[in-house]
């Protein structure tokens, strides 16, 4: 009965090959933004500027999540006297807009996902500030945005700092143009491979 050892060898080979198969790769887009273009208020308020000044915005469209990483010039660690905010605008092929927001302020962290001004329930929505690496990261499960095969995205950051009796704010939109307002979308779709 040489058939049994032959089948066992074939099964073991299939397991070995399957175990070594490369995982599906996630699609990635990196966007760079001009240094020093964060808008400040008051206009001479530079304390917060580097914490809002986006240098890169990276989008990764993996099988389970869309992960957006803002790298800023010099992130001040969020604390009692300052707050930092990152917002990603995500548009799916059916032109549905989502805003994923990460906010750290007064020692608190909040996350939200909104579409058409309505809160979207989203288990697994995560965000973090990594001051040592000057990064803000937002991860949105694909299931929360209806599992799109591709998206377009844009982002914006802001930093608010209080001191004494005053304070100031800085914002940047990752688009090199110093204009703020509605978050502008990129022009190339980020596709899931």
Residue 23 CB neighbour total at 10 angstroms: 7
Answer yes or no: is 2 within a domain.
no
Answer yes or no: is 61 within a domain.
yes
Question: What are φ and ψ of residue 39, in 5° steps?
Answer: -85, 135
Please state, in angstroms and rounded to a whole number, the distance separating the CA atoms of residues 131 and 129: 6
Q: How many domains does the chain have?
A: 1
pLDDT for residue 147: 93
Please state, in angstroms and rounded to a whole number, the distance separating the CA atoms of residues 154 and 190: 11
Q: What is the mean pLDDT of the chain?
A: 82
Q: Tell me the per-residue pLDDT of 155-193, one tens digit each, with 9 for 90 and over.
A: 999 998 887 777 888 889 876 554 556 677 887 888 886
- Residue 85 domain boundaries: 24-191
Confidence of residue 57 (pLDDT cuts 50, 70, 90): very high
Please state, in angstroms and rounded to a whole number, the distance separating the CA atoms of residues 19 and 11: 12
Q: Tell me the per-residue pLDDT of 113-160, one tens digit each, with 9 for 90 and over.
A: 999 899 999 999 999 999 999 999 999 999 999 999 999 999 999 998
Answer yes or no: is 5 within a domain.
no
Answer yes or no: is 121 within a domain.
yes
Answer yes or no: is 82 within a domain.
yes
Answer yes or no: is 16 within a domain.
no
Answer yes or no: is 174 within a domain.
yes
Answer yes or no: is 124 within a domain.
yes
Residue 152 CB neighbour total at 10 angstroms: 18
Please state, in angstroms and rounded to a whole number, the distance separating the CA atoms of residues 103 and 88: 12
For residue 108, what is the enclosing H or E element? strand 108-115
The answer to whether 95 touches 145, Cβ cutoff 8 Å, is: no
Residue 12 CB neighbour total at 10 angstroms: 10
Please state, in angstroms and rounded to a whole number, the distance separating the CA atoms of residues 18 and 168: 56
Look at the pTM and tell me if it is higher than 0.85.
Answer: no
């Amino acid at each position: 009965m040489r058939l049994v050892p032959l089948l066992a060898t074939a099964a073991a080979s299939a397991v070995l090959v399957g175990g070594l198969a490369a995982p599906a790769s996630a699609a990635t887009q990196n966007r760079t933004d001009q240094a020093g273009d964060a808008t400040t208020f008051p206009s001479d308020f530079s304390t917060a500027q580097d914490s809002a000044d986006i240098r890169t915005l990276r989008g990764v469209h993996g099988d389970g999540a869309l992960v957006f990483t803002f790298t800023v010039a010099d992130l001040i660690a969020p604390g009692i006297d300052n707050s930092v905010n990152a917002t990603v605008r995500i548009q799916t092929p059916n032109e549905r807009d989502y805003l994923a927001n990460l906010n750290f302020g007064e020692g608190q962290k909040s996350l939200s996902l909104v579409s058409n001004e309505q809160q979207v329930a989203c288990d697994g929505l995560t965000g973090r500030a990594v001051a040592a690496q000057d990064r803000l990261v937002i991860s949105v499960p694909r299931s929360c945005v209806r599992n799109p095969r591709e998206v377009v995205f844009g982002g914006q950051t802001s930093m608010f700092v209080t001191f004494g009796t005053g304070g100031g704010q800085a914002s940047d939109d990752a688009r090199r143009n110093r204009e703020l307002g509605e978050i502008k979308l990129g022009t190339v779709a980020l596709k899931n491979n």
